[in-house]
Amino acid sequence: MKTAPPAAPSASAADMRLLRQALTHVDDDKLRRIAAVVDSTADPAVNMAVLEPLRARLGPLHPPRLLRLPRLLFLPFDPIMVEAKAWRAEEPLVPRSAVMPVTDLVRTALGTDAAEIEALIAGRDTADVEVVAQAGGMLWPKAAAVAASASTPPPAWAESGLPGAAFQPLLLGMATVWRRAVRLRVLARDRLLDAMKASQKMVEELLADTPAESPLGCAMIARLILLQAPSAAPFVRLFANAATNRADQAILHKALVQSVTCVAASLDQTDAFWERIGKAPLEDAGDVARGLVSLLTQLEEDPGGHVPPPRLLAMRDGLNRACLARFADGLNNGVTAPLQQASEPLSAASQGALEDTARDLRMLETAARPLGGGGEYDALLEAATRAVHDGGVRGTLSRMGEIRLTEILAGPEAALSLYRAGAS
Q: Where do contacts with other proteins occur on this chain (CB under 8 A)?
A: 129-130, 132-133, 182, 185-186, 188-190, 192-197, 199, 201-202, 205, 286, 289-290, 348, 351-352, 355-356, 359-360, 362-364, 366-367, 398, 400-401, 403-404, 407-408, 411-412, 415-416, 419
Query: How far apart, in whole angstroms, are the C-alpha atoms of residue 88 and residue 90?
Result: 6
Cβ at position 130, least distance to other proteins in Å: 4
User: CA–CA separation, 364 vs 327, rounded Å?
Assistant: 7
Specify whether the CB–CB gap between 74 and 94 falls below 8 A: yes
* CA–CA separation, 298 and 370 (whole Å): 15
Q: Which is nearer to other proteins, 96 or 316 (CB)?
A: 316
Which of 88/201 has CB closer to other proteins? 201
Residues 6+ apart with CB under 8 A from 224: 76, 77, 79, 80, 177, 184, 188
Q: Report the 10 Å Cβ neighbour count for 153.
A: 22
CB of 370 to other proteins, least distance (A): 10
| Bridge partner residues of 82 (DSSP) | 95
> What's at 290, amino acid-wise?
R
- Pick between residue 199 and residue 297 the one whose CB is nearest to other proteins: 199
The Cβ-side half-sphere exposure at 378, using a 13 Å CA radius, reads 4
The helix/strand/coil state of 202 is helix
CB of 372 to other proteins, least distance (A): 16
Nearer to other proteins, 122 or 400 (CB): 400
Give the whole-angstrom CA distance, residue 105 versus residue 99.
10
For residue 62, the minimal CB distance to other proteins (Å) is: 16
Strand partners, 66: 125
Which amino acid is present at 372?
G
Instruction: Please report which helix (H) or strand (E) contains residue 283, including its range.
Output: helix 282-300
> What is the DSSP-derived secondary structure letter of residue 198?
P
For other proteins, the closer CB: 351 or 396: 351
CB atoms within 10 A of CB 413: 10
Instruction: Identify which of residues 89 and 129 has a Cβ nearer to other proteins in the complex.
Output: 129
Nearer to other proteins, 243 or 353 (CB): 353
Instruction: Provide the minimum distance between the beta carbon of 121 and other proteins in the complex, in angstroms, as a whole number.
Output: 14
